[in-house]
A and B are shown apart, each in its own frame.
Chain A
Amino acid sequence: MNSKTQNKMAIGALYGIAGFVVLILLALLGYILISGTPQLSWHFLTAPAKAFLKGGGVGVQLFNSFYLLFLAMLISFPIALGAAIYLYEYAKNNWLTTTIRTAIEILSSLPSVVVGLFGFLFFVVKLRLGFSILSGAFALTFFNLPLLTRSIEDSLRTISETQREGGLALGLSRWETVTKVILPAAVPSILTGVILSAGRVFGEAAALIYTAGQSAPALNFMDWNPFNISSPLNPMRPAETLAVHIWKINSEGIMPDAKAISSGSSAVLVLAILIFNFAARYLGKRLYKRLTSA
């Protein structure tokens, strides 16, 4: 067999594998969207869930998902940014940074259910935060931090060393070089990473079941005082998210339209994550263009 036919066969095999993966993805997406989208309506997206009757919605769960995501990002982004800047721009290679990197590595490969149970024992029980948005946000932070740190570090790595030298050679301090040259140049790629990790966090269920809880008390969307128990902004209330809701309906849902609600919720979740992904690409590209061209 000559190298040309070998080459052709290899390419054929790779195309086959790639095609297979795409096919699985399309089949999954198609199934979820086809069975789910007919359930979608304004009512479904905004109404509270019903435990025993049909006709419930996922309004509260949807809000909870976004609020939790927002809080988790609010906590994890600054930490991840700081850690990534320290690791990539400042730290020398020594035992300390090796340890930190290994810790991040291990943290990122922990199964999310373990993170969830840890969150339950530590935040819910030990710190007495109870089943609450705050406990959930902390658990998600643990889940998200390593991945986000890594993604920001990768973004910093894409900025060429010549840019750092350029900044320093201009008489900027290291800090000024990082904040005024490197970070602005890395913003599009950092943003892409943040949105992609937001998609992952948004779909997370296992880490939340025992931290943010599985109940979604009705919310009063007129009450924006975070200290009131029925206020959507109250971080101490239990908050079932969309992903947890899907899990719950499928394991113990007793409403008559459980199947439909689960399909509809899945479609909402998948659509939200697709939107995150496309938004990440679009915004990243737009920003990069704006920063680099006219």
Chain B
Amino acid sequence: MSEEILTTQDLHLYYGDKEALKGINLDFTEKGITALIGPSGCGKSTYLRTLNRMNDLIPNVTITGTIKFKDQDLYSPSADTVQIRKEIGMVFQQPNPFPFSIYDNVIYGLRIAGEKDKEKLDAVVEKSLRQAAVWDEVKDHLHESALALSGGQQQRVCIARVLAVSPEIILLDEPTSALDPVSSSQIEATLLNLRHDYTIIIVTHNLQQASRIADRTAFFMNGELVEVDQTKNIFMNPAKKQTEDYISGRFG
């Protein structure tokens, strides 16, 4: 078992006075894929967004508890959100490429960080697009608009865009739910490729998807973490009744 890279302790989150996360304790070890599953509105996205402080953008959010990324307290007053988000990247439900060329999309983070060396940028573009398994499809029109791509290709370009700033952790919030089955399975293949090099946390509504790609699965309900275990245990042999009910499709 490798080092713990990210730990959450007694994490509560309130939207106004509504408690959306009710004391989550969940740790992630380095590398591999963890899936977060649970019924709609149980707080999966909310939890995921606390991990790179995207919830800071929403007014009236109160967060208590601790999240540590390699011993660094993410919510300490001295924490640098910009740096945190470089190390903990995020891919969203709707593919959101910028309205620029594919090339510019991928290197945007680096270019703004001041990288000018053309050869280096070219290399990063190729490497990231290859890692995101979309290189072959786009290599001949890197300088065309990313918006002209299919939804699935856009999503993989967005993954490449995150990879290009070399994060350690990648958060994905239902990255395939807006895509067709073929594109979805390409994204899954992409993630399986990446699991050796990155710590991946993915929210999904698709239980088959979780069982196909995740090493570990965490089941959330009503703002609480019900149980977390190796994926095969969760699906074959859950410890909690609620998990079993959810897995077998009795609710949610």
Contact = CB atoms under 8 A, between A and B. Distances in A.
Interface in A149-183: 160, 162-173, 176, 180-181
A92 interface: yes
B165 A170 contact: yes
Max chain B C-beta neighbours (<10 A), residue from A170, A180, A291, A294: A170
A251 interface: no
B158 to A, nearest CB: 7
Interface in A241-269: none
A170 B109 contact: yes
A5 interface: no
Contacts of A93: 59
Interface stretch (B3-11, B85-93, B117-125, B193-201): B85-93
Nearest to B108: A170
A22 to B, nearest CB: 34
A172 B100 contact: no
Interface residues of B, number: 33
B147 A171 contact: no
A2 interface: no
B165 A292 contact: no
A279 B57 CA distance: 38
A293 B102 CA distance: 10
A185 B98 contact: yes
Nearest to B167: A171
B212 interface: no
A97 to B, nearest CB: 12
Contacts, number: 79
Q: Which of B82, B92, B99, B161 has the most CB of A within 10 A?
A: B99
B92 A162 contact: yes
Interface string B70-99: 000000000000111111011010101111
B144 A294 contact: yes
Interface of B: 52, 54, 57, 59, 82-87, 89-90, 92, 94, 96-100, 108-109, 112-113, 141, 143-145, 147-148, 158, 161-162, 165
Given A169-B52, A170-B162, A292-B147, A163 B57 contact: no
Contact of A160 (B85, B86, B96): B96
A160 B97 CA distance: 11
Contacts of A92: 59
B161 A170 contact: yes
A218 to B, nearest CB: 49
A177 to B, nearest CB: 9
Contacts of A172: 82, 108-109, 112
Contact of A169 (B89, B141, B145): B89
Q: Name the 10 nearest CB pairs between A and B, nearest first.
A: A171-B86, A169-B90, A162-B96, A294-B144, A166-B96, A171-B85, A170-B109, A293-B145, A292-B99, A292-B145
B138 to A, nearest CB: 12
A162 B17 CA distance: 26
Of the listed residues B85, B92, B113, the one surrounded by the most CB atoms of chain A closer than 10 A to its CB is B85
B52 A166 contact: no
A184 B145 CA distance: 14
Residue of A167, A168, A181 with most chain B CB atoms under a 10 A cut-off: A168
Given A169-B90, A172-B109, A172-B112, 11 more contacts: A162-B92, A165-B90, A165-B96, A167-B98, A170-B108, A171-B89, A172-B82, A172-B108, A185-B99, A292-B99, A293-B147
Nearest to B56: A168
B54 A168 contact: yes
A294 B98 contact: no
A176 B165 CA distance: 15
B92 A166 contact: yes
A166 B98 contact: yes
A293 B98 contact: no
Interface in A278-294: 291-294
Contacts of A185: 98-99
B112 A291 contact: no
Contacts of A166: 92, 96-98, 158, 161
Contacts of A171: 82-87, 89, 109, 113, 165
A58 to B, nearest CB: 42
A184 B94 CA distance: 21
Contact of B141 (A163, A167, A181, A294): A294
Contacts of B100: 184, 291
Contacts of B99: 184-185, 291-292
